[in-house]
Amino acid sequence: NGTWTLLLGCDKVGQGPRGTPPREEQDDNASMKQYLRNKNLVLDFLRSDLNPHHLQYHWNKVHLLKKCYFYLKFEPRHVCVRDQNNMMIFADILQIANPCQLQKIKKVGRKQTEIQLALLTELLEQLERGREELSRYVQICDVEDFLSQWDLNIKRVLKLSMFFNKLISLEEPRKLHVKHSLVSQIHLGGALHPPITFSLYTKKPPIFDRIESFACQTWAQLKWFTESQESHLERWQLEIKLVTDDSQTEPGYGRTQEVISNPCVINHLLPGRLYEFKVRRSDTHTLVYSQWHDCIILKTKTHPGTGPTLSLLSPHLDSW
């Protein structure tokens, strides 16, 4: 009857029809497929978003961002106000801005920038640690152990993916949400305060050209790299300092001067001395954050006629 036929179709008790693997073997095959599928999902994530070269790219981007200059941007930049003759004119917002309110808004911009840079560092550290943990996880060879930890690690993958998306969004300066009224009602002549949006933008720091910067006996030529779209009227602040050591009785001295030319020549230097030069962007009314500046040390020649001396110290700089 049918019962015997079914039994005859089995190789042994506990096995299905002839040619069908036992249930235990089916479960093992299913577990292995699940193991390989899950492992490949984690490996794909490690090779894409958490790729070491990819993370290093973002580290370099954050390091550069920490060296940038952050500025306040107004939109619109010009507003309609009444002059002394009660005539409506267009005025630059900075010319009619309340100085105290402007300083408060710049303070908000500075604080937001500091928080943004701190968060970027923290997110990258979290991604680095997450990569190490997931790399150890995919090295588990035992299928049962791997699958038993899957729920925990898929949550970790989702969390790291969220961190990565947050990192991307924070790498660009953001809008400011402030409640301060920038323009005084006196200038508005009783009109409603215009809707002004505030945001931040960055400029890259000037970096000394260590080949084109050199010193002669009483003068030095300095050149630095900037963004390609820099205005020819951009102002730069140079700090010149005489470097001395404890064995010298000659006191060190320094000065700061503003220049608009690049390259520029610094005169009135002493022969046979070490000079430290620092370059910054000049301060403006809209500058809210700058913490880094490039420096270079040059030695002036002792005697005329010898070749120019190049940079003695070239601190490590991340590529742009």
- pLDDT value of position 8: 35
State the residue for tokens 């790498």.
171
- pLDDT value of position 173: 80
165's enclosing H/E stretch is helix 150-170
Residue type at 82? R
DSSP structure class, residue 191: P
- pLDDT value of position 288: 94
39's enclosing H/E stretch is helix 23-47
In a 3-state reduction of DSSP, which class is residue 78?
A: strand
Round to whole Å and give the CA distance between 112 and 119.
Answer: 10
- What are residue 72's DSSP bridge partners? 200
Round to whole Å and give the CA distance between 94 and 98.
Answer: 8
Round to whole Å and give the CA distance between 112 and 137.
Answer: 37
List Cα–Cα distances, 145 to 32, 133, 142, 308, in angstroms: 12, 15, 5, 67
In a 3-state reduction of DSSP, which class is residue 80?
A: strand
- pLDDT value of position 280: 94
Round to whole Å and give the CA distance between 126 and 45.
Answer: 15
Round to whole Å and give the CA distance between 320 and 315.
Answer: 15
- pLDDT value of position 71: 94
Contact of 140 with 149, CB cutoff 8 Å: yes
State the residue for tokens 């660009």.
172
Residue 289, C-beta contacts closer than 8 angstroms, at least 6 positions apart: 69, 70, 109, 110, 113, 114
Beta strands at 264-266 and 294-299: parallel, antiparallel or unpaired:
unpaired
DSSP structure class, residue 286: T
Round to whole Å and give the CA distance between 279 and 296.
Answer: 9
State the residue for tokens 């400029």.
203
280's enclosing H/E stretch is strand 274-281
- pLDDT value of position 316: 45
- pLDDT value of position 174: 79
Q: Which residues of the chain have pLDDT under 50?
A: 1-14, 314-320
